[in-house]
Structure 1
Amino acid sequence: MTHTVSDAARAIGDRVEIFVRNVIAPYERDPRAGAHGPSDELVVEMRAKAKDAGVMTPHIRSDGGHFNQLDTAYILKRSGLSPLGPVACNTMAPDEGNMFLIGKAGSAEQKERFLKPLASGEARSAFFMTEPAADGGAGSDPSMMKTEAVLDGNHWVIKGRKTYITGAMGAKVGIIMANSKEGACMFLVDLPDPAIKIDRVLDTIDSSMPGGHSEVTIDNLRVPADQMLGQPGQGFRFAQIRLAPARLSHCMRWHGVATRAQEIATAYACRREAFGKLLIDHEGVGFMLAENQIDLKQAELMIDWCASALDAGGDGNIESSMAKVAVSEALFRVADRCVQVMGAQGVTGDTIVEQLFREVRAFRIYDGPTDVHKWSLAKKIKKATLSA
């Protein structure tokens, strides 16, 4: 890795950190940040302050260009210092990944209509890919996708069911993945739409993403043909364009979350006394915090390594899988140790460590479970070995 973070990214990243710590962190106890994520009212309020502070969508340059991945990592890690930080600064999933995809694959008209309100923070989005297991639909294996798109004149008619759709409740822009006779396709849609029914918002372990995670029925949705991303059959290729950077940006944001948990646990251990001395002076506690520091640094280096691979022009498929596994597992160890260091205090809502633990636990599942990524990597190892 030979690239370094640009001065421009450092400047905006440092502003983001000050904003998140001083302005957004106090919102963590706001009752509008509920079990299904912050309310739309709270999102609007926080984003207004982000605009005033000049940190709205900070990974997008003022000229509309995207910072490279290494620069983006510097910025997004700082936005993640509060679970509300990415929401306020408009670096949260799925919006960040959807903006990246539309920016890469969208037409000029699609960018104006769908990307512009996302980049300004005026709208939220949802990515409709995962389907209910009870229907035999797509989860970690997108080839199992059951949702169908049929061409009818100058419209596509889409029918199917989706689940775990982050942010569907309250979203204004949707990207729907469906199968056609030509293969997988992606469609840009305006939301809400009466043909897209939110059946329920699922109760999940995490609570940082606006709108939560929904189960959805799509019943004969008519989408104009010019709202397809690219051409019929390009859906899986576009999914790869989105997924590798999106996996990595998850790592970036949650690195900030784990860093914050480490800060809180360390401060607690340095003021709480037991058995005649500070907790941190007990070897068992001090060693856990030391292991956390090691895991955080290794995760940071893994993120930067994968970012550099993407910046060098690679598809990042292997690197992002490796980073997703290594970083999610390392950050979960960090969050778990922080809870342990704080004892009973760590499982209460008196500090945010309990929520940070839940958020990082979910990260081991989102954008591909650890086990699926390991299995995928093992297949590539076998193929490379047998073809050598």
Structure 2
Amino acid sequence: MDFELSPKAREYQAKLQEFMDGHVYPAERGYAEWRAANDPHALPPVVEELKAEARRRGLWNLFLPDVSGLTNLEYATLAELTGRSHELAPEAVNCAAPDTGNMEVLHMFGTREQKKRWLDPLLDGEIRSAFAMTEPEVASSDATNITTSIERDGGDYVVNGRKWFITGAADERCTIFIVMGKTDPDAPVHRQQSQILVPRDTPGVTVLRHLPVFGYQDQHGHSEIVFEDVRVPAANLIAGEGDGFMIAQARLGPGRIHHCMRALGMAERALELMCRRAADRVAFGKPLAAQGVVQEQIAESRMAIEQARLLTLKTAWLIDRHGAKGARTEIAAIKAVVPRTACQVIDRAIQVHGGAGVSGDTPLAAMYAWARAMRIFDGPDEVHIRTVARQELRPYLG
């Protein structure tokens, strides 16, 4: 098992590091100040400036192997770098969720017309998208619970249902939803669901509200949406009827690598901030860095990050060689391990910073909100732990 990067990947890494140091980090304060003074879901102008600069440097759509030529393992190291500035960097290089997953779906399963109308402008960074699966009335950690209906009516499908925490929907650039619902409630349990493209401006689509996370309103938002007798052409169906669960599973392997490596990038930055604070701050006559309890927090953080990163890189390596099915246990494991690791490290950094850690003067509070939410979105910890346990017990249960 070899995690050595190719010369091409090392070149991308160096270029991305230079972009982060010279453009992304310096833009963070202005980004936050602009959002504080304007509609929280409006787009700060600096984002488009960063996108243009990233594209000029060839740092664009790096997540998609058929475009970048990078393996999942090689892209993982780049995703970690972007996670250090989680609000700005992923979008600056057109590698932000949920667009990445939606682009992967359209790339794998979209028709020529679907790709031309939706995938191409997404790849160009002209629009944004959302994935509408989670529902307020059912435990959506079990996707078979979904109640939204997608019913055939002549040459159309009619969509009815309610979704919430739909990431990206508050952004005015979000023009297309991939909606998951049931086309046949009587089919076998994993053949009941389908996925369909619903343009935002379709009659019957109502964005009710934008939901905060720990009081934060992300620029892209997390929204509650009602679909009431929403009629779209049958050609908007992705793949075939009953393929929804399969499509959802196909997007999860690489997507979880992206999420987890970005979270580790956040943890690395939190550890860096913790060390700087410990070196600069004096308490009881000596720097915090000389206090044994703080040293332990720093050491525990470093060890946890290294362990979580190695497991994630192993998972990426397995996906590259055996596909998502060949890495099923590891994919579940990293989704439980990494968010918990990130939360622990960020929490320690907050503690070392004292009041500053929970304020807006450092990025730590916002980072913690995102990392803690990650223990729920894309499936809660308990679902992934259950998957690991089942795989481990299989040889013993017959």
Q: Give TM-score scaled by structure 2 length.
A: 0.90
- Contact 1:270-1:280 at 8 Å conserved across structures: yes
Aligned to 1:188: 197
SS at the partner of 1:255?
helix
CA, structure 1 residues 322+347, in 2 after alignment: closer, same or farther (shift >3 Å)? same
1:371 Cα deviation from its structure 2 partner: 1.7
Task: Judge which range, 185-194 or 375-384, deviates more.
Answer: 375-384
Aligned to 1:283: 292
Superposed CA deviations along residues 102-141 of structure 1, whole A, max 9, x for unmatched, are 21222233222211111121111100101112xxx35101
Aligned to 2:11: 11
- Contact 2:35-2:44 at 8 Å conserved across structures: no
- Contact 1:208-1:359 at 8 Å conserved across structures: no
Unaligned residue ranges in structure 2 (runs of 5+): none
1:378 Cα deviation from its structure 2 partner: 2.6
Match for residue 127 of structure 1 among 121, 126, 131: 131
- In the alignment, the residues of structure 2 paired with residue 21 and residue 37 of structure 1 have an alpha-carbon distance, to the nearest angstrom, of 25
2:89 corresponds to 1:85:
yes
Aligned to 1:40: 43
Instruction: Write the letter of the residue equivalent to 1:24.
Output: V
Equivalence map 1:1-388=2 (5 Å) = 1-29=1-29, 30=31, 31-33=33-35, 39-42=42-45, 43-60=47-64, 64=67, 67-83=70-86, 84-133=88-137, 137-169=138-170, 170=172, 171-181=174-184, 183-205=192-214, 207=216, 209-314=218-323, 315=325, 316-387=327-398
1:203 Cα deviation from its structure 2 partner: 1.4
- Contact 2:288-2:294 at 8 Å conserved across structures: yes
Instruction: Write the letter of the residue equivalent to 2:168.
Output: G
CA, structure 1 residues 37+238, in 2 after alignment: closer, same or farther (shift >3 Å)? farther
Instruction: Write the letter of the residue equivalent to 2:329.
Output: I
CA, structure 1 residues 123+372, in 2 after alignment: closer, same or farther (shift >3 Å)? same
- In the alignment, the residues of structure 1 paired with residue 94 and residue 40 of structure 2 have an alpha-carbon distance, to the nearest angstrom, of 14
Instruction: Write the letter of the residue equivalent to 1:334.
Output: V
Unaligned residue ranges in structure 1 (runs of 5+): none
CA, structure 1 residues 172+41, in 2 after alignment: closer, same or farther (shift >3 Å)? farther
- The Cα RMSD (Å) is 2.1
- Contact 1:56-1:121 at 8 Å conserved across structures: no
Superposed CA deviations along residues 251-292 of structure 1, whole A, max 9, x for unmatched, are 011111111111111111112122222211111111111111
- Contact 1:130-1:162 at 8 Å conserved across structures: yes
1:14 Cα deviation from its structure 2 partner: 2.4
1:160 Cα deviation from its structure 2 partner: 0.7
CA, structure 1 residues 208+80, in 2 after alignment: closer, same or farther (shift >3 Å)? farther
- In the alignment, the residues of structure 2 paired with residue 276 and residue 239 of structure 1 have an alpha-carbon distance, to the nearest angstrom, of 56
1:343 Cα deviation from its structure 2 partner: 1.8
SS at the partner of 1:172?
strand
1:67 Cα deviation from its structure 2 partner: 2.5
SS at the partner of 2:135?
coil
- Contact 1:36-1:209 at 8 Å conserved across structures: no
Superposed CA deviations along residues 289-327 of structure 1, whole A, max 9, x for unmatched, are 111111111111011011011111232332111011111
CA, structure 1 residues 242+321, in 2 after alignment: closer, same or farther (shift >3 Å)? same
1:211 Cα deviation from its structure 2 partner: 2.2
Superposed CA deviations along residues 1-49 of structure 1, whole A, max 9, x for unmatched, are 2353222122112222222233122333333345996632443343233
- Contact 1:175-1:188 at 8 Å conserved across structures: yes
- In the alignment, the residues of structure 2 paired with residue 279 and residue 28 of structure 1 have an alpha-carbon distance, to the nearest angstrom, of 27
Superposed CA deviations along residues 138-167 of structure 1, whole A, max 9, x for unmatched, are 510111111111111221111111111000
SS at the partner of 2:280?
coil
1:189 Cα deviation from its structure 2 partner: 2.9
- In the alignment, the residues of structure 2 paired with residue 102 and residue 66 of structure 1 have an alpha-carbon distance, to the nearest angstrom, of 18
Percent identity, aligned pairs only, is: 35
Superposed CA deviations along residues 164-184 of structure 1, whole A, max 9, x for unmatched, are 100012212221111012621
- Contact 1:50-1:89 at 8 Å conserved across structures: yes
SS at the partner of 1:233?
coil
- In the alignment, the residues of structure 2 paired with residue 225 and residue 304 of structure 1 have an alpha-carbon distance, to the nearest angstrom, of 40
- Contact 1:325-1:373 at 8 Å conserved across structures: yes
- Contact 2:159-2:229 at 8 Å conserved across structures: yes
Superposed CA deviations along residues 25-82 of structure 1, whole A, max 9, x for unmatched, are 2333333345996632443343233223332323346x73552210110111111111
